[in-house]
Amino acid sequence: MPMAEAMIFRSDGNLRTTAGWVAHEPDNLQHAQNYTNTKSGQTKSGDRNRVLRAIEITAARYAHKEILQRLSLSSPNWHYLFRALIEAESLYRSDAVSAKGAVGLGQLMPATARALDVDPKDPEQNLDGSARYLLTQLRRFRDIDLALAAYNAGPTRIRTYGQVPPFPETRRYIARIHRIRARLALSGLELLRPLSPQQRPSIPRVTTVEQRH
């Protein structure tokens, strides 16, 4: 079984993981420039709380998967990883739509959503599909960084290069997710008690999008 991944904070304030990644970018990276959104332009606090709760519920649904144990990802650490991915992808915006057509919280491409049999405009289905797609990459590559790279750049490119491809965007993406993970872990994020199906949050579906120029 592989050793658990460690996150080390350096004297310059940057984060280094045992996988060798250094995360030095601010958490407010201008990821928003990569997608369009609805007229609101903001995520209301109530909507954000519902999204965070839905992320937690989705992560808990798959926390027992064998690949997570193989990678020494405990239930909280899996939750941090999945939540960090969603933050990096959409800044918790259920209405995020990229210029390339990726949709929703996990920025699923239409073809990927069809393969996962989810409606990407439905936030809860989007999260479920995103979690399953990330787990697929973890099983395929048995490495967190390679799985994140595959989520960002596609698994074909990972197989082509045999490693994280030399794309600045993908490398920044991985570093950003590690930094978000570390921030969540250091914040002492407490996972909430399970909710009954009747208590589950309701997040508005994506209905219309407007191009941001």
Strand 15-17 and strand 97-98: pairing? unpaired
Catalytic residue among 25, 56, 66, 89: 89
Through-space distance between the first and last CA atoms of the chain, rounded to whole angstroms: 49
Tokens, residue 50:
């519902």
Strand 15-17 and strand 7-9: pairing? antiparallel
Q: How many CB atoms lie within 10 A of CB 48?
A: 15
Q: How many CA atoms lie within 13 A of 149 on its CB side?
A: 24
Encode 79-106: b = buried (16+ Cβ within 10 Å), e = exposed. Answer: bbbbbbbbbbbbbbbbbbbbeeebbbbb
How far apart (Å, rounded) are the C-alpha atoms in residues 41 and 166? 33
Name the amino acid, one letter, at 142: R
89 catalytic per annotation: yes
Distances (CA, A) of 42 to 66, 82, 182, 209: 37, 22, 25, 13
How far apart (Å, rounded) are the C-alpha atoms in residues 69 and 108? 26
Catalytic residue ranges: 89
